Structure 1
Amino acid sequence: MAAAVAAVGWLAGVAHAQTALPAGTAQMRPVPAETSASAELPPDVAVVAPDATLEGGRRLLPWSGIWRGSACRFAQCDVKVAVEKLSADAATVVYAGASATQRVTERGEAKFIDNELHMPLRTGATLVLRLREDGDMEMSLWKNVTQLLSYGVLTQKPFAYARSVERVPTPWTENGRAQTLEMVVYRPPGAGPFPTLVFNHGSTGNGDKPEWFTYTWASPEVGAYFADKGWQVVFPQRRGRGKSDGLYDEGFEPDRSRYACRPERSLPGLERAMADLDAVLAHLRTRSDVDLRRLLIGGVSRGGILSAAYAGTRPAAPFLGVLNFVGGWVGDRCTHADAINPVAFRRGAAFPHPMLWLYGDQDPFYALRHSRKNFDAFMAEGGKGSFVAFDPLHGASGHGIHAQPALWSSAVDGYLQAVVPK
């Protein structure tokens, strides 16, 4: 939303022209927002569709209606836009945006410029809307014409999945109260049971920002890719992460100032994370919407290496494959990284099926040279799999390739065909 994203400013300086959206935007999908905040259009919204029989009416008709989707980084803003009335050169537009911290609703007059609608907002930002050939709508917010604040894709169609937040029981208690884990669920249309991917979050950088521990993480890009194929995706939040109960304790220094770099303090955190996954898998076994014959595990960063180690050390788990996006337990700048990361990956070597390892160049945590060494250690231990490296789009961090399905969708397509029965 305008005010909230103006404060974020995370894409400052990216754009060089008002409509030059970042590379990869064309591959973005309209997805539900990753927030409980809901953008609400005012009750007096009245969409008047143009008469398609009049001159120019057919051209204007695709713009008309109520559009919804998400914006802000990590889809943290819910957005709704109503295009109420249209003329040859203008439209009445209502914009509503909501995040965890702020809500904005504004009605105004938007002008057509080069087949886009441009509407100035009271915040000083400008809302820009443009239609796609597939019938969806790209939206972006700009400051001073050249600074891109936020962008996303809106739609009038059903989303590829419904997003819900659920609680997973665990065997632990705290002060006499049973602890539970938060789990975000992306469920495709239908009744199920669905083939299901368990997708695990990473760490929080260096572990020195406790405020990041409470961030609930999911990947709309991975979720939409799998939902299109009829898969359900679950994103468990481990103890102390997101809104899960318990202490986040996956290998810290004694004063909890940052993640530990010594194996004796770091690797026990991996064991704790695997215990959390034991609770998640036990819960999934009880669910009627999960097809246990078609179950995958994967994750990003710490979630990637966790998935590999878990699959190799839990022979009773019915996983068919592992998707490891840029996996590692500690960054390669840790002086003891070679005594931690390959040790954890070797634990995955007993997994009987091939894994798919996906890595990006220019990764500030895991250089390709380090990650290839980890893969070599995994294979030397008897592991099966493929290592695929990508150049991230236009200077983006290689650590974020999970958010760029244009890079990896073909590789994952082939992997699914190889490991998942029809």
Structure 2
Amino acid sequence: MQDSVTPGGAALPPAVPLPSTPVTGPRPSTSLTVATPLRDVALAAALALAWFVTVDVLRTEQWWNPRWVSAWWWCGAALAVAVAGRRTHPAATFWAVVVGYPLAYRTGLQSELHLAPVLVAAFAGARAGVVGPVVGALATAGGTLALLVPGGLVVTRDLALGLAPWRLALDTSYTVALVCLACAAVALGVVVHRLEAASADLAARNAELRRLQAERTERAVLAERTRIARELHDVVAHHVSAIVVRAQAATRVAARRPEAPVEATEWIAGAGKEALAAMRGLVHVLRTDDRVAPSALAADRAGAASAAVTADLAPAPGLDDVARAAARLRDAGVAVDLAVPAPAREVPADVGLAVARIAQEALTNVLLHSHAAHVDVRVEDTGTHLHLTVRDPGP
């Protein structure tokens, strides 16, 4: 039976597969989805009520004398529509206000305040991304120009129905200023829309990175736990196998050699102490790991745990541990021909650990399954690799 390995470095255990969880943004609850339009409608209704009551009260006073009261009515109604649908139906609200409001206004712009519905609708439509910058600017500018041109049915201060004459005489500087103001509302909406889109994309990327970081950390923890479990199995199997064989041998020869059980007991005590020291080092890492909050785990946790394992094991696993494993096998009754020359270079800790554990596993297999009377153990350093060969003549 031959067990030959060439460890170029300690290999990590395979990553433990984890279920992939797609990243989804926060889902709005049903109450929130319903509350948003209701809140907008309620705000619009309160605004319209306050507007119309104020206009009607001021209309009856002698010190406020609007020429066309219908202009204020249409402005309040359009402003209420713009506020009510700015978030739930931004496209329909934009076209209804920008097109419908100037067609119904028909008195010529009576106050710069009457441009507010157009500005609100233009900003909301551009912010929602339902209208492009060019189309939104042209439509808003057209609606603003239509508000400046009078002509059509109007209602006077005394609630009398009249007909305003059509006039195209516009003040150039005043018209340009209002058109620029309307286009600025569209531009501001476009800027806010792009900022919100960028923020949403960054939030999604951040959520994805957090998920990947958590998954990577969990994979590292599970992989390290698997590695420690394998390490613990190797330590226990090697030491306990030697202890069992030594105890059985002492029982067989007890009748001929009364001192054999005492010698075996002393040897078993030493081997047991070594096994306990190794197991304590591994279990200490696991217990320390359990006391650390999951949120505090870093991506290099596996490396830190490996260093802790290496530091806690006594004696430190390495090429010298191959000789100790061979000595335990000799004490169990198997002749071991050992050749472990001093390496020509400093062996990394992970490579030494791999060689030691592989040698322990191979010698344990010889003890349990081969039934051979002797075994050859060779370690060779080629300068780039360490070659470990464990050979015995057993089945």
Indicate the structure (1 or 2) with the bigger Cα radius of gyration: 2
Q: More strand per residue: 1 or 2? A: 1
Q: TM-score range by the shorter chain?
A: under 0.3
- Bigger relative contact order, structure 1 or 2 (CA pairs below 8 A, ≥6 apart): 2
Q: TM-score, normalised by structure 1?
A: 0.19
